[in-house]
Homo-oligomer: A and B are copies of this chain.
Amino acid sequence: MLNRLKIGELARMTGCQVVTIRYYEREGLLPKPARSDGNYRLYTSEHLEQLHFIRHCRSMEMTLDDIRLLLKFRDTPEESCREVDALLDQHICDVADRITQLKSLESQLRGLRGQCCSARAAKDCRILLSLHSETEGKTQR
């Protein structure tokens, strides 16, 4: 029976930690469930589904703010889903940008690493020496 799930059961069914579920409730991502006589949270299959939704979004590294928005869209069925598309497009852009950035970083790091030729004294370490020189063409943040 799926309508009196305790928090630990919900956790097991979603691969989510108990504390995280409580955290989502505080953050307004999961509606407050009913309580048992002993003050235990009692979840329904609605909660289960919503938590699956949240975890699916999180596994794609969407922010909790993004997820809040998506949940709002879901609850206004007459609105178009153009905003869902836009949110996703933006997220895809962000991920792609980050990949580009990390690739450049990786080659920079490999370049730096290549300056070392085996264990010498740290005072002569070319990596450390190189890190002391000014970064050219870098702007803040």
Residues of A whose CB lies within 8 Å of any CB of B are 15-17, 49, 52-53, 55-57, 59-61, 70, 73-74, 76-82, 84-85, 88-89, 91-92, 95-96, 98-99, 102-103, 105-106, 108-110, 112-113, 116, 119-125, 127-128, 131-135, 138-140
Contact = CB atoms under 8 A, between A and B. Distances in A.
Contacts of A103: 99
Contact of A127 (B76, B88, B105, B139): B88
B109 A91 contact: yes
Contact of A80 (B53, B80, B122): B122
A15 B138 contact: yes
Contacts of A134: 52, 56
A124 B77 CA distance: 8
A92 to B, nearest CB: 5
Nearest to A119: B80
Contact of A73 (B49, B70, B128): B128
Contact of A109 (B88, B125, B138): B88
Closest 8 CB pairs of A and B: A77-B123, A81-B125, A80-B119, A15-B140, A82-B119, A81-B122, A92-B109, A95-B106
Contacts of A92: 106, 109-110, 113
